[in-house]
Amino acid sequence: AEFRAAISRLASGVVVLSAHGDGHDHAMTATAIASVSLDPPLLLTCVEQAARFHEVVLDAGGFAISILGHAQRRAADWFATPGRPLIGQFDQFPVVVFTLDALIVTLAHVRSIGPEWGHILKQGPDSRP
């Protein structure tokens, strides 16, 4: 509990990860994302294995990253809400409208690190939406 409280005060960027799978759009809020390399462009993010987004992103082979600004707190909270409805979850927050920037990435490497998985992502030269 102490660790969680302390780490929650660590300033970091907030993003929404989104992918399409099983006939539905899936998304989650994430703060655990890091730039690994500029050349080649690589990112690292971790997704909990139990999250429904995990299987979708493995099947899809990639996902979009929408970078949120400070005014998008409501959107960040919504996409972090466990058990929110699968159908219509983007109705309140169209991804294109609320982002500061967006990237489309493909999975370059997936590694299990316990109950979480590390995803190394590669942004291709033509991968901006």
Tell me which DSSP letter residue 74 carries: H
pLDDT at 100: 63
Q: For the stretch 23-34, what's the b/e string if a residue is b when 16 or more beta carbons lie within 10 angstroms of its beta carbon?
A: eebbbbbbeebe
The reply to whether 30 falls in a domain is yes
Q: What is the CATH number of the domain that holds 72?
A: 2.30.110.10
Establish if 80 belongs to a structural domain: yes
Q: How far apart are CA 73 and CA 42, in angstroms?
A: 26
Q: How many CB atoms lie within 10 A of CB 48?
A: 13
Judge whether 129 lies within some domain. Answer: no
Q: Is residue 3 part of a domain?
A: no
Whether residue 7 lies inside any domain: the answer is no
Q: Over the stretch 29-72, which tens digit does the pLDDT of each residue have?
A: 988 888 887 777 777 887 877 788 888 888 888 788 888 888 88
14 vs 109, residue with greater confidence: 14
The boundaries of the domain holding residue 76 are: 12-122
How far apart CA 63 and CA 113 sit, in angstroms, is 20
- Is residue 127 a part of any domain in this protein? no
* 95-119: pLDDT as tens digits: 544 566 666 666 666 665 566 555 5
Helix, strand, coil share of the chain (percent; to 5): 20, 45, 35
Q: Is residue 60 part of a domain?
A: yes
Is the pLDDT at 129 greater than 60? The verdict is no
88 vs 114, higher pLDDT:
88
Residue 81 has pLDDT above 60, yes or no: yes
Strand, helix or coil for residue 96: helix
* Global confidence as pTM: 0.73
Domain count, the chain: 1
The radius of gyration of the chain's CA atoms, rounded to the nearest angstrom, is 14
